[in-house]
């Protein structure tokens, strides 16, 4: 890093401290601050102050284009709060990135307008670098938030989406909801087989009402599960096959083999009760 750039960073630091109030006032009117601090403009101005101060520290540190400097931690904390609030309000990551980018214009405009000619060039470069770094930090936060959300939801899905229900003495059912990939199939198979052992089940019902589409892969997963159930000494019936899915299965030429199928869970239960030697009257 050259002396001139360092001089620019120092000039920016001085400038930010001197114009702290003006800049905070201008930022407070931008979408990012307005949308997050809806309770009042004073709160938005206060938050903008904090961000200006944090950026001043980074500029004083001198390394305005380095996203790893410790001085950025405060910037990160201030920005993370706002980005979290924005994404909770439903803003997409590109929207949030654009809103963070908006903060740049007032800074550059003020530096260009108010600094003496001698300092202006280096200061403009340093200010641009600094605001670029801010934008990068913003994107970094958005991305890690998204990643965390995806990981959490995936975990929740596999935990929540595979309950095994006891419908009757020796009859268990798994209501499958969502896409059936090989990881889910594995979890479903394991929990279902354990349930068959625990409940001494004679019939297992796989209900696919909540499965949006059945292709060759999903059909294969279903057949695997049905086969494992049979090996365990229980019988398997697949229910909840909607007319469109039945058509798709036929059109794709999928052979479901000797899997018993029923249109609805009620029909499957009736069949299951027949298998275990119980019958109930129809209303």
Residues near another protein, by CB under 8 A: 186, 189-190, 193-194, 196-197, 200-202, 224, 227-235, 258
Tell the smallest beta-carbon distance from residue 162 to another protein (Å). 14
Cβ proximity to another protein: between 159 and 198 the closer is 198
DSSP 210: E
Residue 6 to residue 59: CA distance in whole angstroms: 9
Q: Which two tokens stand for residue 181?
A: 């990939």
Tell the smallest beta-carbon distance from residue 185 to another protein (Å). 10
Q: Which residues of 263-282 are buried (b: 16+ CB within 10 A; e: fewer)?
A: eebeebbebbbebeeeeeee
Cβ proximity to another protein: between 51 and 201 the closer is 201
DSSP 220: H
Tell the smallest beta-carbon distance from residue 194 to another protein (Å). 6
Tell the smallest beta-carbon distance from residue 239 to another protein (Å). 19
- CA–CA distance from 33 to each of 51, 82, 166 (Å)? 11, 8, 52
Tell the smallest beta-carbon distance from residue 170 to another protein (Å). 9
Tell the smallest beta-carbon distance from residue 213 to another protein (Å). 23
Q: What are phi and psi of 162, to 5 degrees?
A: -130, 60
Contact 90, 14 (CB under 8 A): no
Contact 208, 238 (CB under 8 A): yes
Residue 264 to residue 208: CA distance in whole angstroms: 9
The 3-state secondary structure of 135-197 reads: HHHHHHHHHHHHHHHHHHHHHHHHHHCCCCEEEECCEEEEEEECCCCHHHHHHHHHHHHHHHH
């Amino acid at each position: 890093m050259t002396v001139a750039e360092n001089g620019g960073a120092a000039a920016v630091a001085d400038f930010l401290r001197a114009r702290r109030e003006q800049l905070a006032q201008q930022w407070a009117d931008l979408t990012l601050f307005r949308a997050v601090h809806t309770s009042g403009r004073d709160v938005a101005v206060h938050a903008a102050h904090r961000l200006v101060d944090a950026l001043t520290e980074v500029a004083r540190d001198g390394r305005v284009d380095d996203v790893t400097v410790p001085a950025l931690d405060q910037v990160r904390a201030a920005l993370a709060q706002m980005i979290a609030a924005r994404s909770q309000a439903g803003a997409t990551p590109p929207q949030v990135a654009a809103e963070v980018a908006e903060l740049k214009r007032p800074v550059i405009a003020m530096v260009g307008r108010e600094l003496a000619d001698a300092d202006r060039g280096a200061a403009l470069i340093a200010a641009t670098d600094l605001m670029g770094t801010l934008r990068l930090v913003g994107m970094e936060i958005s991305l890690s938030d998204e990643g965390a959300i995806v990981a959490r939801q995936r975990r929740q899905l596999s935990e929540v989406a595979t309950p095994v229900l006891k419908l009757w003495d020796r009859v268990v059912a798994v209501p499958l909801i969502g896409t059936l990939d090989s990881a889910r199939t594995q979890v479903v198979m394991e929990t279902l087989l354990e349930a068959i052992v625990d409940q001494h089940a004679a019939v297992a019902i796989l209900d696919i009402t909540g499965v949006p589409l059945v292709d060759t892969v999903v059909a294969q997963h279903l057949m695997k599960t049905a086969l494992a159930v049979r090996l365990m000494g229980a019988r398997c019936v697949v229910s909840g096959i909607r007319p469109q899915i039945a058509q798709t299965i036929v059109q794709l030429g999928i052979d479901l083999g000797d899997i018993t199928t029923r249109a609805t869970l009620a029909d499957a239960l009736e069949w299951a009760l027949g298998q275990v030697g119980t019958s109930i009257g129809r209303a």
